[in-house]
Amino acid sequence: MSEPGPVGEFGLIDWIRARTRVGGRTSLGIGDDCAALRVTTGADLLATTDMLMDGTHFRLDEAGPEAVGRKAIGVNLSDIAAMAGRPLAALVAVALPKGRAVELAQGVLAGMGPLAQRYGVDLVGGDTNAWDGPFVIAVTLLGETTPDGAVRRSGARPGDAIVVTGPLGGSLLGRHLDPRPRIDEALSINRRARPHAMIDVSDGLAADLGHILAESGGLGATLDADTIPIHPDAEALSRRDGRTPLEHALHDGEDFELCLTLDPADAEDLLARPPAGVTLHRIGVVDAGPGLRLATGGGLVPIEPRGYDHLG
């Protein structure tokens, strides 16, 4: 016989608490009114949160709670990566459908475990609610900057090389539920080359590069169609829907690769001798004038940003 499951909100919290180990940075984990963390003197605290809703960001009945838990912490880790930060601790708030509450909470926690462990993230708190609505989860992730500093979206300069860390497109075939946050890659890139600007590709390359360009004072960019790395999933999706693999690579989103801009000489050096375990593709150049353009064999064509807009 399996062990009886926890009963009620506090039974569930006790169950989670009993399965949560906290490391050296956490002075106080689950069980008090707040968690307490020891942060490094001189570092900036990084804070990010993402809410995922059944029916919008995933389909619980298809994905299952483990995949949802993995995605919920993965997307937040990806945001910490995009700042070249080091993750520390997570808080998890859930709205659980009544009737399946305990089973879902346990599944979500199991799904988060491996990524949390891999990146040394302590689960230090959260909030637990049940209702008649669909499953909703919001993970808040805390991290800190390293002595190399944070990399913002706002530092791109005309003439910068644009680089991405991996192939893009077609994540809807399944990779969107399985983010591989580029934490280690971001730290080693930042140690070596000090990118001027960086973002993780969640809305789509065109949209996210657009965020960098907008935050950097209204710059533009020209992407070289031949150099944009296209994921095999983008090819597979293209055979189904007739949109080109390149369109998928430019617009699909949820690739969770990094897009960065840096001094062209630094880019050359970085690409010639990439840090261990890091894949880099140089895909274009930042322009002084606004607008996003694609250089193809046939000339320059404008790229319209059309990432997903939740209020659109």
Regarding 16 and contact with ligand ADP (CB under 6 A), the answer is yes
Is there binding between residue 130 and ligand ADP (CB under 6 A)? no
CA-based radius of gyration for the chain:
21
**Cα 196 from chain centroid (whole Å):** 19
**Beta carbon nearer to ligand ADP, 125 or 155:** 125
103 near Mg ion (CB under 5 A): no
The only residue of 27, 32, 56, 118 in contact with ligand ADP, by rule CB under 6 A:
32
Kindly identify the residues of this chain, within the stretch 209-248, that bind ligand ADP according to CB under 6 A.
none
Nearer to ligand ADP, 11 or 289 (CB): 11
CA 78 to chain CA mean position, Å:
3
The contacts of residue 296 (CB under 8 Å, 6+ apart) are 225
Nearest approach, Cβ of residue 63 and ligand ADP (Å): 19
Question: From the CB of 257, what's the least distance to ligand ADP, in Å?
Answer: 29
Burial class (CB in 10 A: 0-12, 13-18, 19+), 164: buried
Four-CA torsion 295, 284, 307, 274, nearest 10 degrees: 140
Starting at the earlier edge strand, list the strands of the sheet with 85-97. Answer: 45-53, 136-145, 85-97, 122-131
From CA 115, how far away is CA 164, in angstroms rounded? 22
Which lies closer to ligand ADP via its Cβ, residue 73 or residue 286? Answer: 73
Site for Mg ion in 67-96 (CB under 5 A): none
Select 123 or 228, whichever has its Cβ closest to ligand ADP.
123
Alpha-carbon distances, residue 5 vs 13, 46, 124 (angstroms): 12, 35, 22
Helix axes 60-82, 183-193, angle to 10 degrees: 20
Ranges within 96-125 binding ligand ADP (CB under 6 A): 123, 125
The DSSP bridge partners found for residue 197 are 261
Interacting positions 107-136 with Mg ion (CB under 5 A): 127
Write out the binding residues for ligand ADP, residues 78-97 only, by CB under 6 A: 92, 94
Residue 127 sits in the site that holds ligand ADP (CB under 6 A):
yes
User: Is 8 a binder of ligand ADP (CB under 6 A)?
Assistant: no
With CB under 5 to 8 Å by kind, the binding choice for 94 among ligand ADP, Mg ion, none is ligand ADP
Which stretches of the chain bind ligand ADP, using CB under 6 A?
13, 16, 30-33, 92, 94, 123, 125-128
Given the rule CB under 5 A, which residues bind Mg ion? Answer: 127
